[in-house]
Amino acid sequence: MDKKEESAGERKLQCSDVSKCFELLESILDGEMGDPGKEVLKEKLAKCQPCFEHYHLEQAIRDLLKTKCSKQAVPGELVDSIRTKISDIK
């Protein structure tokens, strides 16, 4: 089964409903479909080339967002300022 997933030759080259399929793939990637989603994913990756490519592209973008998106440091005075304001209204 795993070997089959790696071979592009056996996948169909056209996806009949790209928009629906990709939206579904994204929901699966977001962990919204649970175990049934994993089965659907396995099937799609094995049988459909556009889905296979979309999956890997989506995965790469998610990794990039998670690991490389620049983060702002919280300004040091912000926490103190919040605490001061809170103690004023207590």
Partner 1 sequence: MSEVQRRKYSQEEKNSIFDGEFMPHIDSMYNFAYRLTFDEDDAKDLVQDTYLKAYRFINSFEQGTNAKAWLFRILKNSFINEYRKKSKQPAKVDYQEVETYYNSDDVDFRGTTDLRAESVKDMIGDEISNALNSLAVDFRTVIILCDLEGFTYEEMAKILDIPIGTVRSRLHRARNLLKEKLKGYAQHMGYNTDEEE
CA 67, distance to chain mean position in Å, is 13
Number of residues that bind partner 1 (CB under 8 A): 39
**Within 9-68, which residues bind partner 1 (CB under 8 A)?**
17-19, 22-23, 26-27, 30-32, 50, 53-54, 56-66, 68
Bridge partners, 12 (sequence order): 48
Q: If residue 36 lies in a helix (H) or strand (E), which one and from where to where?
A: helix 34-47
Residue 19 burial (C-beta neighbours within 10 Å; 0-12, 13-18, 19+): exposed
7 lines the binding site for partner 1 (CB under 8 A): no
User: Where along the sequence are the contacts to partner 1 (CB under 8 A)?
Assistant: 17-19, 22-23, 26-27, 30-32, 50, 53-54, 56-66, 68-72, 74-75, 78-79, 81-82, 85-86, 89-90
